[in-house]
């Protein structure tokens, strides 16, 4: 591409110079140079007329150089622009490659879950005792025994008669601790003592307004909470299973909310 550009550049410059030479020769014909006038007054008159005709023709032909010069300038400018925008190929024979910038790694959460080593060395003394008791019970009965001390909201541990342990984990909570025992999550809404409504068993506290100026719904996780309100006082809701409906919050419009687990 570079050689082709250079050849085209030279060809256009040559054509431009040939055009200028042709115009110059037309403005200086050889017949004017070959004329020899002699003879006193007649010689002076003919020379004066000759100069007038020569100057008149030069003035008529001179403007032809202007478009040629402008065209040549535009051609050279176009070639210069073309050579500038053409990408250059760098010689990387002796260059040291520069590594591409890499995006910083996303921050890892402080807690990735409960890690359990293969030899159960990470268990507490209470969990170790419960595991040993479950292994003995499974061996004596020939049944698979659940180790309640190792149960969490997302995982269960079972021991078979041969001592083989099975660990089952869920991505989201499937059970909650309630009254010192594990119960499955339950989205059925029930009324609280303060008039609000909440699911029977949820991993995180969730309350719905019982009407009036209280927040429409409030979600709590640890010390953080998020509340959503309605711009007007809420009517007394109707509850059915996991749905709560606030009638006529707008003319002929009911507001219905549904609890979807897991939470």
Identify whether residues 218 and 166 lie together within a single domain: no
Identify whether residues 149 and 194 lie together within a single domain: no
41 pLDDT band (50/70/90 cuts)? very low
- C-alpha 218: how far from its chain's center? 33
Identify whether residues 146 and 192 lie together within a single domain: no
CA–CA separation, 17 and 11 (whole Å): 10
Does residue 7 belong to any structural domain of this protein?
yes
Does residue 36 belong to any structural domain of this protein?
yes
**Structural domain that includes position 21:** 2-84
Domains held by the chain: number: 3
pLDDT in tens, 120-174: 557 888 888 999 999 999 999 999 999 988 999 999 999 999 989 999 998 888 8
- What is the per-residue pLDDT for 101? 59
CA–CA separation, 237 and 217 (whole Å): 12
Domain termination site, one of 84, 109, 144:
84
pTM given for the model: 0.49
More confident residue, 42 or 146: 146
Q: What is the mean pLDDT of residues 202-220?
A: 93
Q: Which structure tokens are listed for 146?
A: 């659940």
Q: Does the pLDDT of residue 180 top 50, yes or no? A: yes
Does residue 95 belong to any structural domain of this protein?
no
Q: Is 215 helix (H, G, I), strand (E, B) or coil?
A: coil
Does residue 71 belong to any structural domain of this protein?
yes
112 pLDDT band (50/70/90 cuts)? very low
């Amino acid at each position: 591409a570079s050689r082709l550009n250079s050849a085209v550049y030279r060809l256009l410059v040559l054509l431009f110079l040939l055009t200028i030479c042709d115009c110059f020769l037309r403005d200086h014909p050889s017949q004017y140079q070959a004329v020899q006038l002699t003879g006193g007054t007649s010689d002076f008159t003919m020379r004066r007329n000759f100069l007038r005709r020569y100057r008149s023709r030069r003035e008529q032909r001179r403007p032809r150089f202007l478009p040629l010069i402008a065209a040549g300038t535009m051609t050279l400018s176009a070639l210069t622009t073309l050579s500038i925008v053409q990408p250059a190929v760098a010689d990387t024979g002796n260059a040291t490659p520069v590594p591409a910038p890499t995006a910083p790694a996303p921050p890892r959460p402080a807690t990735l879950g409960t890690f359990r080593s293969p030899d159960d060395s990470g268990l507490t003394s209470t969990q170790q005792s419960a595991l040993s008791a479950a292994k003995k019970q499974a061996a004596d009965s020939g049944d698979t025994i659940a180790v309640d001390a190792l149960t969490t909201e997302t995982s269960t541990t079972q021991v078979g008669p041969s001592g083989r342990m099975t660990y089952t984990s869920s991505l989201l909570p499937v059970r909650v601790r309630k009254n010192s025992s594990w119960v499955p999550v339950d989205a059925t809404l029930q009324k609280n003592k303060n008039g609000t409504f909440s699911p029977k068993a949820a991993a995180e506290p969730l309350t719905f307004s019982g009407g009036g100026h209280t927040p429409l719904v409030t979600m709590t996780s640890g010390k953080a909470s998020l509340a959503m309100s309605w711009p007007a006082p809420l009517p007394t809701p109707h509850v059915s299973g996991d749905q709560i409906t606030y009638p006529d919050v707008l003319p002929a419009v009911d507001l219905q909310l549904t609890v979807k687990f897991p939470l």
